[in-house]
Structure 1
Amino acid sequence: MKETHTVEKKDSGVFLNVLAPRVFRWVASKAKARKAMSAGELLVNGQQVPADVRVSVGDVISYTTRKGGAVKSAHRKVFKQEIPVVYEDEYLAVLNKPGGLPVNGNHFKTLENTLPFNLKPSAQPDALGVMRPLHRLDGPTCGLVMVAKTERTQVEMGLQFENKKIRKRYQAVVIGAVADSKGTIRDVVDDKPSQSDYEVVYVKKSVKYGQLSLVKLYPVTGRTHQLRIHMSNLGHPIVGDKFYSGEVEVLQGKGLMLCSDRLEFDHPITGEHLELEINLPNKFTSYMDREARRN
């Protein structure tokens, strides 16, 4: 599919990667525009241009989406593992990913490879040949993952994620008693500004750790391992974390006590405000109760 746009006077001198997301609905961000330019999908006057090009009045810019997903899907191996579906329609779906299953990557056993087994394909004209997760959860983390079924959903929800319009909540069991009932952590992650808000649900005694806290976590930014790093920096690593728990013994067979249990967003097609929530896995509260009874 090819779209074109003639540059108007008011946009003369604007960087192409800035203008493209404004005029092409399938170009969700400046980053995607740069990628399309590099791939020869985003052209000026029919020519491939460097990343720092500015457009002039009268320039014709074109964007061509390269389909072929259906062919790829036909030869794609399907991982037949049942995954609970929390929400599904023609445009998107939300699934409850179990801990230990990667969202995607160079593996066969991924959430992405289970999608044809668990979801109905979209009948929309812009249906994706391969349904795509719109965000990632760490492999050890369980909980809600949103999936795009159509190109428009992929673009629109990509913008919502980029503009921080999607509210995500996690719950975690952390080591120790978190002193403040509410707070904000702004420690830099990967040399980038990062923010996580937290709220303590309750604290219980623990023979193993002294005390354990159940906390709600609200990531404002979305850096890799952000919540795990922030809670560790606060002095309260998440139970079961192999990488950020310091000398604390990792629980055998319990996994990481971190769950993405709530997503709140506006539907990209209908505009309906959706609030999706799952129950916290039993192991979270049962582990805390068992530790408390051992005293």
Structure 2
Amino acid sequence: MKLKEQHKVKNSIEPIRLQEYAIGIFSTVPTKSGIKKAIKKGLVFVNGNVATTALVITGNELIELFQNETTDPKKQFIFPLQVVFEDDFMAVIYKPSGIVVSGNSFATINNALEQNLKASTQQDAVIPRAVHRLDYPTSGLLLISKTNATTYHLTKFFEEKKIQKTYHAVTIGKMKNEGGIEMLIDEKESYSAYNVLKSIPSEKYGFLNLVELNPKTGRRHQLRKHLHGIGNPILGDKDYFIEDLISYGNGLYLHATSLEFTHPITTKKMFISSELPKKFKRLFPDVSL
């Protein structure tokens, strides 16, 4: 076997299982499933000893990843991304519509991050990874972690609803000016608040509305399901739609516009926003955020 990569754990951390801690610390095996497979194959060593999936990391360990001589080198997914914010701990990038954030596919945002971001100089640096998701057809701001500590804190922030996300969508049909949508998604409670910024008449759809959305929970497809549930689906949604009112031309009109949170390391108050995509502005040219 040949030494491939190594990682030194900080002097003191909260005890955590190796297969959880090691997510993202090695560029060639960035995922949880990949780390688990490498451990089971005897390719991961901690302080010179073969590691097990039950091993707990407590601080100051040297973690080494080996490879068999026949292992193929990692391929790189070349995909330029717009970096909206970056420091040594985290980043925010602009995710275009039409690409997945993560998964088994080679063409993912996660696989493109390393070439677009600067490597962290922190002791607990990891391969950059998104800490939340946006649907394949959704565009907008995506929060990225570059260290283990940042990943831990941002994940907790999401769980504790300490990160405020704002979306904008174009919806179909007549709507109330503002309101809240509450319903069960996958047998779990969910809630979104909305505010209609402008409505215009439409021969095909009756009305088109530019809507600001603030999800208070984070269920899968929550905003899309909520708006469909009140009879105002998002323009271009091919999963949640009203029969005969599907738009095929310009994709889904759903955009993650802003993120508001406290920086997990510097404690600075962060507010990061992006402009609406051009397809939104073509429908609502006189609306500025």
TM bin, normalised by shorter chain, reads 0.7 to 0.9
The equivalent residue for 2:173 is 176
Instruction: State the Cα deviation string for residues 31-69 of structure 1 (Å, max 9, x = none).
Output: xxxxx9x941449xxxxxxxxxxxxxxxxxx68989568
Correspondence 1:26-105 to 2 at 5 A: 39-42=53-56, 75-105=73-103
Contact 1:42 1:63 (8 Å CA) reproduced: no
The equivalent residue for 1:24 is 14
Distance 1:85 1:69 in 2: 30
Choose between structure 1 and 2: higher helix proportion: 1
Deviation, 1:287, is 3.4
Structure 2 counterpart of 1:114, which letter?
A: A
The equivalent residue for 1:114 is 112
Contact 2:165 2:259 (8 Å CA) reproduced: yes
Distance 2:66 2:261 in 1: 28
RMSD: 3.0
Deviation, 1:250, is 2.8
Q: Does 1:131 align with 2:128?
A: yes
Distance 1:162 1:276 in 2: 20
Distance 1:268 1:249 in 2: 44
SS at structure 2 position matched to 1:95: strand
Choose between structure 1 and 2: higher strand proportion: 2
* TM-score normalised by L of structure 1: 0.75
Question: How has the CA–CA distance of structure 1 residues 252 and 266 changed in structure 2, closer, same or farther, with 3 Å as cutoff?
Answer: same
The equivalent residue for 2:254 is 258
Question: How has the CA–CA distance of structure 1 residues 42 and 140 changed in structure 2, closer, same or farther, with 3 Å as cutoff?
Answer: same
Distance 1:265 1:134 in 2: 14
Distance 1:4 1:83 in 2: 34
The equivalent residue for 1:218 is 214
The equivalent residue for 1:196 is 192
Comparing 239-248 with 97-106, which one deviates more in the overlay?
A: 239-248
Distance 2:244 2:61 in 1: 49
Contact 2:178 2:195 (8 Å CA) reproduced: yes
Q: Can you give the 5+ residue segments of structure 2 that lack an aligned partner in the other structure?
A: 1-7, 18-35, 37-51
Question: How has the CA–CA distance of structure 1 residues 109 and 2 changed in structure 2, closer, same or farther, with 3 Å as cutoff?
Answer: closer
Distance 2:153 2:162 in 1: 11
Deviation, 1:131, is 1.3
SS at structure 2 position matched to 1:115: helix
Deviation, 1:193, is 0.6
The equivalent residue for 2:26 is none
Q: Does 1:206 align with 2:202?
A: yes
Contact 1:173 1:257 (8 Å CA) reproduced: yes
Deviation, 1:139, is 0.5
Distance 1:137 1:70 in 2: 34
The equivalent residue for 2:149 is 152
Contact 1:41 1:65 (8 Å CA) reproduced: no
Instruction: State the Cα deviation string for residues 6-32 of structure 1 (Å, max 9, x = none).
Output: xxxxxxxxxxxxxxxxx82768xxxxx
Instruction: State the Cα deviation string for residues 237-257 of structure 1 (Å, max 9, x = none).
Output: 000101111314432230100
Contact 1:176 1:209 (8 Å CA) reproduced: yes
Contact 1:25 1:155 (8 Å CA) reproduced: no
Deviation, 1:80, is 1.4
Q: How many residues align?
A: 243
* TM-score normalised by L of structure 2: 0.76
Structure 1 counterpart of 2:146, which letter?
A: K
The equivalent residue for 1:236 is 232
Contact 2:9 2:63 (8 Å CA) reproduced: no
Q: Can you give the 5+ residue segments of structure 1 that lack an aligned partner in the other structure?
A: 6-22, 28-35, 44-61, 290-295
SS at structure 1 position matched to 2:283: helix
1:245 to 238, 241, 244: 241
The equivalent residue for 1:143 is 140
Structure 1 counterpart of 2:153, which letter?
A: E
Percent identity between the aligned chains?
A: 40
Contact 1:171 1:216 (8 Å CA) reproduced: yes
Structure 1 counterpart of 2:207, which letter?
A: Q
